[in-house]
Structure 1
Amino acid sequence: MPSSIQARSYDSTPSLKVAFIGLGVMGYPMAGHLAQAGHQVTVYNRTAKKAQDWVAEFAASKAPAHAPTPREAAAGADIVFCCVGNDDDLRSVTTGEDGAFAGMQRGAVFVDHTTASADVARELYAQAQALGLQFIDAPVSGGQAGAVNGQLTVMCGGDEAVFNTIKPVAMAFSRACTYLGESGSGQLAKMVNQICIAGLVQGLSEAIAFGMNAGLNMPQVLDVVSKGAAQSWQMENRGKTMVEGKFDFGFAVDWMRKDLGLVLDEAKRNGSRLPVTALVDQFYADVQQMGGNRWDTSSLIARLNKK
């Protein structure tokens, strides 16, 4: 079986016993990079078959294993990493009799890479502290490709001393891992990220649709304008596939709407006005109505091209 991660060099860090909870399109390769970096990794996934497949793929690494519950995966681990779907999923794998917190040793660190609310980050931080554990909220940006390549950007909130202990380990799947402040700060920074992306993708969609309607050679136009002030990651990585109408990859519209829901809820709390973000959220709702729930977020252009 070909590896699900791209080979890369890893910084030399002491081998630790770690756990990874959640082997989705992000978690599976992230856990793989930890194993390839020399850590002893135990994984948990709600669908056990995927955990078994992961162990088989990384069998050459240091004693990879899978566990039937988050609690058992976390037992004896120095750091427990997690990447699941939403606030409720996160609570389900951390709390309760079979949750990771019940299995973690005092002083161990839970690092959450889920894009979730700042409220749940603060809630779980407080619960962890009461149990003698540590909690870092650490959502990521870079998408599936970033996870596979080990080039994610990680935005962290919590106690800075604790962050400093987990950063060298998280760098196995990251190109940047940055401390941004107290608990919840990582999740708030990820919201900033998603606000930026929403506006960029809508602007790029309108620009490409306009150019196509004007009869321009859009791949050529994108090559030109990407060398000027309009350049962006979205243009470089999604522009040509948008011209071709290809969206069967990348960060799904359903996930983006979940994230923008978190953004808009937080904006109500802190008094921010986000008219463009709210509008783009509704444009993504239109894409869902077109059957594009699992299309990449660049599919905003599809609603402009709809006849």
Structure 2
Amino acid sequence: MADGGMEVLDGTQLRDLDLQLPILDYPVSGAMALQLAESETSARLFGLSLPENIRSGALHRISASDDPDLLSKEFGDADCLSSMIQEFLIAVADQLKDDPLVISVLDGKALRIFLDDEDDFAMLAENLFTELDTDDNGKLSKNDIANALLHMGVQLGVPPIQESTNLLSNIIKKHGAEGEEKLGQAQFANLLQTILQDLTDALSEKHVTVVRDVKVINGSKLKKTLENQKLFNEFVEKLFLEWNAYKNGQEDMELRGFFEARGLESGLPPSESNEALYDRIFSDIDKGNVAGDLEKDAFQVIVKDILEKFAQHLEENPIFIDLEG
């Protein structure tokens, strides 16, 4: 996977439960067991440290089905420890199935492509210089090198500062790219090139995994609603009340507009970028039943049909929504 390329973590990477535990002295404390479980999880997820919401959600799932105070337990043998780690892996996998993460593994390849092409790098450096030279005086300070790296971002293979504080800061310090000393465009480009070369070498030796601000709409939320009768009934009840308020006495108000307005709230993709999908799904719904007054039972049947069609399509063709700007 090249820099900037995206990988979806949906839990499938964790469902192989073949563990290779280190040689340990038993018993093992709950804290140590959790540390081993998180290490095993990270190793299977490209070195990613679990976001706190995924970690705490997985612990809650384990606690709900077993001992509510995992950290106070002791694991007396390898089988008990292995069972706990397997439970943790499955719990994280279930969390990721419901709410997938999108990541990029930065390994220096994308940066190498820019550095190996003189014309591409010259254009990149020129564009960055122009963008940062807000005073239009043809000079930038050395401090602006950090801003240039920030502008390049994950899409061009540069890790965020918070993901690699020591890596980037050490490289910047190594080349004296700090302070208010002014640089012309050529000097700026030369310094940036040197720093990017070092960053490329560092990333090739130790990859940096970055969670992207990208939402995956894959039908999992819809399937969860459809598979739980209580949840589905509550969903329909709330939707039916909103539907009657939405149409507000307008006999020709169509359900399509109502569902388009719900969008992500209901687990549906945004309509503005998926008109063809909405066209196809709502063209399959009986035209005589999608407008005007609807009894609750008829409304429930139609809603179920709509959700099933969306869920099937999204499971086969997930939609990615870029929230990064």
TM-score normalised by the chain length of structure 1: 0.25
Higher helix share: 2
Q: Which has the larger radius of gyration?
A: 2
